[in-house]
Amino acid sequence: MTMTLISAADLAARLDAPDVRVFDVRHDLTNHAAGRQAYDAGHIPGARYLDHETELAAARTGKNGRHPLPSRAAFGALMAAHGVTPKTLVVAYDASGGMYAAHLWWMLRWLGHDQVAVLDGGWQAWTAAGLPTTTEAGAAVRAGQPVEPGASLAGSVDAQAVLDNIPRQAFTVIDARAANRYRGEVEPMDPVAGHIPGALNRPNGENLQADGRFKPAAQLREEFATLLDGRDPAAIVHQCGSGITACHNLLSMEIAGLSGSRLYPGSWSEWCSDPSRPVATGAQ
Catalytic residues: 240
Sheet containing strand 200-201, strands side by side: 200-201, 172-175, 236-239, 262-263
| Residues, the chain | 284
Of residues 269, 232, 282, the one with CA closest to residue 64: 269
Distance, CA of 75 to CA of 148 (rounded, Å): 9
CA distance 250 to 247: 5
Task: Fill in the amino acid letter for 97.
Answer: G
Compute how many other C-beta atoms are within 10 angstroms of the C-beta atom of residue 78: 18
**What φ, ψ does residue 145 adopt, rounded to 5°?**
-70, 150
